[in-house]
Amino acid sequence: MAARSSDRFPMQNVDPASGYRPLHVFPRAQESWWRTAARTAFPFVVVGALWEAVARLQMFPSRLFPPLEVVAAALFRLTASGVLPHHALETVLRLLAGFALAAIVGVVIGIVMGRSRLAEDLALPIVSMGAPIPGIAYAPLFLLWFGLGNVSVVLLVGFVSAFPIIFNTWTGVKAVKEVWVRSALAMGADDRRLFHKVILPGALPYILTGLRLGLAQAWRVLVGVEMLAAVPWGLGWMIFGAREFLNTDVMLAGVVVIGAIGLALEKLVFKRLEDFTVVRWGMMT
């Protein structure tokens, strides 16, 4: 049963066994903390110096290519005045609302598809038709249907991030070993216990991968959609709006904050979640 799932879909290369896994592996001899920090900082210092040199030599108009301290000053000014935190907060709230929607709906659909052959046959063609269309392409359609503003943005973010969650949950449920299910049944587990004690933990590594991919997609589409949807607050809108006034320093400050939030979502939220669940249960190392 598990064999037929892996070859059929665009999302196939996202199973936890392939792709980015070796990224975290960084085997090196023990070395002091500050040497590691210095080595990590070194490339940034080089690139920063290059940027600074280009900006100072005025090769491009400094309005368009501001020196780093101007960007830093903009970052500081906007943070101190509370504008930037407000933009960031609205963006994160939209992300969380859309993602929560996608997580709940996606996991439920994925599990139902994994457990019932009928549901799988009915839902799969629809899901696999929607998946290869980039989420941002739906944006104008959603704006027409649900109006400019938050409703469209949250629905679109949810819609887009639901696909990887559905695919991975479905794959995960199908990848639960038949032997585990049968031995649980032989030991007298009812449906409910089977689900809680065997299927859910067994599928969890895949579900978490799906959630992680879904969140990454949600983040990517949200920034773009905020530029289109004319919401009053939000980082995407801030960057896009700053373009009108040639405020390149504000735009770059916004890009920095977007990168920082993206990194934090990946490193803090999901790393923790994984450590608490699948790593602790010994499903993944």
Residues within window 50-79 making contact with other proteins, judged by CB under 8 A: 60, 64-65
- Which residue from 230, 246, 268, 269 is in contact with other proteins, where contact means CB under 8 A? 246
**Does residue 187 bind other proteins (CB under 8 A)?**
no
Of 24 and 192, the one with the shorter C-beta distance to other proteins is 24
CB 183 to other proteins: min, Å? 20
CB 146 to other proteins: min, Å? 10
- Which residue from 262, 270, 279, 284 is in contact with other proteins, where contact means CB under 8 A? 262
**Does residue 224 bind other proteins (CB under 8 A)?**
yes
Closest C-alpha among 258, 230, 213, 219 to residue 140: 230
**Does residue 121 bind other proteins (CB under 8 A)?**
yes
**Does residue 269 bind other proteins (CB under 8 A)?**
no
Neighbouring residues of 248: CB distance < 8 A, sequence distance ≥ 6: 63, 64, 65, 66, 242
Region near other proteins per CB under 8 A, out of 36-44, 66-74, 101-109, 277-285: 36-44
Three-state SS for 20-70 is CHHHHCCCCCCCCHHHHHHHHHHHHHHHHHHHHHHHHCCCCCCCCCCCHHH
Q: Restricting to residues 76-115, which ones interact with other proteins according to CB under 8 A? A: none
The whole-angstrom separation of Cα 280 and Cα 19 is 22
- Which residue from 17, 47, 54, 230 is in contact with other proteins, where contact means CB under 8 A? 47
- Look up residue 103 and give its two tokens: 């997580």
Closest C-alpha among 176, 200, 220 to residue 278: 200
**Does residue 13 bind other proteins (CB under 8 A)?**
yes
**Does residue 148 bind other proteins (CB under 8 A)?**
no
CB 95 to other proteins: min, Å? 11
Neighbouring residues of 93: CB distance < 8 A, sequence distance ≥ 6: none
- Which residue from 98, 106, 114, 254 is in contact with other proteins, where contact means CB under 8 A? 254
Among the residues of 230-275, which ranges form H helices? 235-244, 248-264, 271-274
